Amino acid sequence: MAKSENPYVGQDGDLRKAASEILFPVRFNNILSADRALRLPKDYQYDDANPLAVVKPSTLFGQEAVLSESGSPIEAFGEWLTSPENPRFTKVIANRLWKRAFGLGLIEPVDDLKENSVAPNAPLMDYLEQLMRDLDYDLQTYQRIVYSTRAYQREASLEEPVPGAPYDFAGPILRRMSAEQIWDSLVAMTVTDPDRPDRARVLTGDKRLAEVQLIAEAIYDQEPAQFLRNLREVVKIQSELSLRIEAGEKKVAEAREKGDPDLVKQAAAEAKAIKNELDHRIEEVVYRDGLQRKLNGLKGNPAVEPASKVTGSASSGETGDLIAGERLIGEFARTLLANYGTFEEGMAEVAESKRSGIIGELIDAMFSEREAALRIERGDARAAELAAWNVKDREAKAAYRTFDRVIRDRMKRASEMTQPSPAGHFLREFGQSDRELVENASHDASVTQALAMLNGPTLSSVTNRYSVLMREMRGEKFENRLDTIYLTMLSRLPSDDEKAVFREAWAADPESGTVTGIVWTVLNTRQFLFIQ
């Protein structure tokens, strides 16, 4: 295609293209807030207002929102939304927390309350609403009260609620554990500290945020003239590369003529590599320039002195206060000074290494202390376990390796994992919400769930000899082990009938009485999945 026919060619178009390339990494950083009146469209058809009339903020129900001179509309909205006088606010939360305890709300569905939504047990709903107001929305106390009721403490009702018909709350309803509850139960059986936060993941998250932060600082502090100069530089790079892209396209076309799929793939890969090169070159030209400028500005600043040991990043806890404006570039400056003699040397060293681009290098340098600390911590924990659990022979060591590297990595609490999990994961199979809607979890049964419980890796994780369950197994006698398993998995001791069933089974087949076998058996009962 002839370039001259491209409507985007021309000064403005090229500059705009260059600008969008440069600003791409920080595209989520800006919120446009226009302080102008909202008006109806000029072809407004209805009788209730004129076209182009100003739309004043108003509320759908309850009281009118009060707009003060100084306050913003969003603050007024917040006040209205959370007001104890708002007919929905208190009702919704009181209802939802009731559902959390009993498995069913007083009004269903809990996320679709309407003007005419009335609980079949209206006095109870009113009481709970008032209770919530009286407690000043202390959710913990509200729940403590609900959990202390006799109704809650009864076993799950035998009566199955009928959709559309009122339910009497003789007790909570029988409900299956949510996907997260099932998974977390397995995690609790396997690892000692299921509530431990996933610090490695937090670190990765912080690094990504820091990266965007650095780029933003590099760009936004530039003088307009400087930025324009950089744009022109990028335009030059882009036009140079687009010639190569055109050549790449030709190569792809030729490869297709030849009918060789591998050649096509190769040509396409080469073309993509050109795009990567563009990213790197922009980084060099634009960001580095901005960062250098920033660093120069910091020179002579008493706040920036060579750090002797650990920079602020490692010791400021998991989340850290990294994302706090000027502090970030200051951190970076300190790191540079600590590791290299001067800023210039540092920048030069870092720029030399082409591994992950300049920004990547900077981030690695800034977080190296924290990463090291994490590694040390993990190493210490490992050493302590090896000693405490007496891991000596080869078999034990192999089992420990599996436990430490595979199982512990996999068995994290649902809330510590990326949400939603990828399709096919245990959590998704058991109905974890895909987050496409506000509440999209499912408690339905499926074949793949059954397959996962029957044949999946959950059993080997839970019965690895270093799992909590296995280490807690008390006593030599199987009766004691049975007690441990039942208490762990079903929160009760086995009944005499159940013990008899097991004894009968062991009598028929003495080999069957293994712990693994019993765990598998209980794991695949229906009562394991349901909350009674």
Partner 1 sequence: MKLDLDLSRRHFIGRAAKSFLGVSALASLPDVSRAAGAGASSAKQVATAKRVIYLYMDGGMSHLDTFDPKTDGEVMGPTKRIDTKVDGLKLSDNLPLLGRQAEQLAVVNSMISTQGAHKQGNYYMHTSYEIRTSIRHPAMGAWLLKFNGRDNPSLPGNVMIGNNSSHPGAGFFEASLSPLMLRDPEGGLQNSEMSRGMTEERFNFHRSLAEKLDQPFVDRYDQKNVRAYTDMYADAIKLMRSKDLAAFDLSAEPEALKVRYGKNPFGQGCLLARRLLEHGVRFVEVSMGGWDTHNSNFINVPTQAAGLDAAFSTLLDDLQRRGMLDDTLVVLATEFGRTPEINSNEGRDHHPQAFTCVLAGGGVKGGTVHGKTDERGAKIVEKPVKVGDFNATIGYALGLPLDQVLYSPSMRPFTVADKGQPLVELFG
For the segment 257-276, give every residue that binds partner 1 (CB under 8 A): 261, 264-265, 267-268, 271-272, 275
Nearer to partner 1, 76 or 417 (CB): 417
419 counts as binding partner 1 under rule CB under 8 A: no
Phi, psi of 178 (to 5 degrees): -70, 165
Least separation in angstroms between residue 421's CB and partner 1 is 9
Cβ proximity to partner 1, 12 vs 43, nearer residue: 12
The answer to whether the CB of 330 falls within 8 A of the CB of 303 is yes
In the region spanning residues 96 to 115, those forming contacts with partner 1, defined by CB under 8 A, are 109, 112
Report the residue from 308, 438, 491, 510 that binds partner 1 according to the rule CB under 8 A.
438
Quick one: which segment of 319-327, 375-383, 400-408, 513-521 binds partner 1 (CB under 8 A)? 513-521
CB 173 within 8 A of CB 181: no
Shortest CB 198 distance to partner 1, Å: 21
CB nearer partner 1, residue 361 or residue 483: 483
d(CA 292, CA 274): 26
Q: Is residue 497 at the binding interface for partner 1, with CB under 8 A as the rule?
A: yes
> Of 398, 493, 501, 507, which one interacts with partner 1 (CB under 8 A)?
501
Cα torsion through 46, 47, 48, 54, rounded to 10: 70
The distance of closest approach from Cβ of residue 46 to partner 1 in the complex, given in angstroms and rounded to an integer, is: 19
Residue 264 CB, nearest approach to partner 1 (Å): 6
Taking residues 133 to 172 in sequence order and writing x for each that binds partner 1 by CB under 8 A, - otherwise, the string is -----------------------x-xxx-xxxx-------
Among 58, 116, 308, 418, contact with partner 1 (rule: CB under 8 A): 116
Residue 102 CB coordination number (10 Å): 21
Q: CB–CB of 428/421 below 8 Å?
A: yes
- The nearer residue to partner 1, 203 or 234, going by C-beta atoms, is 234
Nearer to partner 1, 272 or 280 (CB): 272
Size of the site for partner 1 (CB under 8 A): 83
Is residue 449 part of the contact set for partner 1 (CB under 8 A)? Answer: yes
Q: Which amino acid is at 432?
A: Q
- Closest CB to partner 1 among 102 and 332? 102
CB of 194 to partner 1, least distance (A): 23
Backbone angles phi, psi at 175, to 5 degrees: -135, 150
Binding mask 460-489 toward partner 1 (x if CB under 8 A, else -) reads: x-----------------------------
- The window from 73-81, 352-360, 467-475, 496-504 that contacts partner 1 (CB under 8 A) reads 496-504
Buried b (16+ CB within 10 A) or exposed e, 369-386: bbeebbeeeeeeeeeeee
DSSP classification of residue 493 = P
From residue 378, how far is each of 198, 372, 374, 415 by CA, in Å? 12, 10, 6, 21
CA distance 1 to 7: 12
Query: Applying CB under 8 A, does 352 fall inside the site for partner 1?
Result: no
d(CA 500, CA 497): 5
Helix (H, G, I), strand (E, B) or coil at 460: helix
Q: Is 55 in the site for partner 1 (CB under 8 A)?
A: no
Long-range contacts of 28-32 (CB under 8 A, 24+ apart): 28/212, 29/212, 29/216
- The verdict on 454 binding partner 1 (CB under 8 A) reads yes
Q: Given the complex with partner 1, which of 262 and 393 has the nearer CB atom?
A: 262
Residue 340 or 478: the one with the smaller Cβ distance to partner 1 is 478
Tokens in use for 259?
Answer: 């009918």
Interface with partner 1 in residues 210-249 (CB under 8 A): 242, 245, 248-249
Rounded Cα gap, residues 80 and 191, in angstroms: 45
Q: How many helices (H) and strands (E) does the chain have?
A: 25, 2
What's the CA gap between 109 and 100, in Å, rounded?
Answer: 13
Does residue 47 belong to the site contacting partner 1 (CB under 8 A)? no
Determine which residue in the list 26, 65, 124, 252 makes contact with partner 1, applying CB under 8 A: 252
- How many angstroms separate the first and last alpha carbons of the chain? 69
Residue 529 binds partner 1, judged by CB under 8 A: yes
CA distances from 451 to 193, 460, 524 (A): 28, 14, 10
Q: What is the DSSP letter of 157?
A: B
Contact 6, 227 (CB under 8 A): no
313, 331 contact by CB (below 8 A): yes
Q: Binding string to partner 1 for residues 274 to 313, with x set by CB under 8 A, is what?
A: -x--------------------------------------
- Applying CB under 8 A, among 52, 122, 450, 507 the residue interacting with partner 1 is 450
Give the H or E element holding residue 175.
Answer: strand 175-176
CB of 16 to partner 1, least distance (A): 8
One of 23, 371, 456, 465 touching partner 1 (CB under 8 A): 456
Among 6, 149, 204, 353, binds partner 1 (CB under 8 A): 6
